[in-house]
Amino acid sequence: GQNIDQPTEMTATEGAIVQINCTYQTSGFNGLFWYQQHAGEAPTFLSYNVLDGLEEKGRFSSFLSRSKGYSYLLLKELQMKDSASYLCAVRNPGGGGNKLTFGTGTQLKVEL
């Protein structure tokens, strides 16, 4: 089966750093994605990790440890517009194609 866990909600202050964790237990693994979804909008791609380590992209970084089934998304210099839901998703090689299984998302609220 597939199990992806992330906190439901987080609150942080503008200008601060926040780390959103994701743990997964899946029957196969072929990469982990982070998506951002603003209310009423489509999810948009943020990052992709398939090997262990840190991937940095501007203010956003994502880390993966395959042996621990663990990833985190790090957001630096938080801005109000970063208030959104952050979805962790694991790609499964089984079942054909490019199947992504999503976690339930972490609702991040950035406050002044």
Partner 1 sequence: DTAVSQTPKYLVTQMGNDKSIKCEQNLGHDTMYWYKQDSKKFLKIMFSYNNKELIINETVPNRFSPKSPDKAHLNLHINSLELGDSAVYFCASSQAGLAGDHLSGELFFGEGSRLTVL
Q: Which of residues 58-77 bind partner 1 (CB under 8 A)?
A: none
Distances (CA, A) of 18 to 30, 75, 92, 101: 26, 5, 28, 24
Three-state DSSP class for 82? helix
Q: Which of 27, 44, 65, 79 is in the footprint of partner 1 by CB under 8 A? A: 44
Cα 84 from Cα 66, distance rounded (Å): 26
Q: Can you state the percent helix, strand and coil of the chain, rounding each to 5? A: 5, 55, 40
87 binds partner 1 (CB under 8 A): yes
Give the one residue of 20, 36, 85, 110 binding partner 1; rule: CB under 8 A.
85
Q: Smaller CB distance to partner 1: residue 46 or 74?
A: 46
Interface positions with partner 1 (CB under 8 A): 30-31, 33, 35, 37, 41-45, 48, 50, 85, 87, 91, 93-102, 104-105, 107
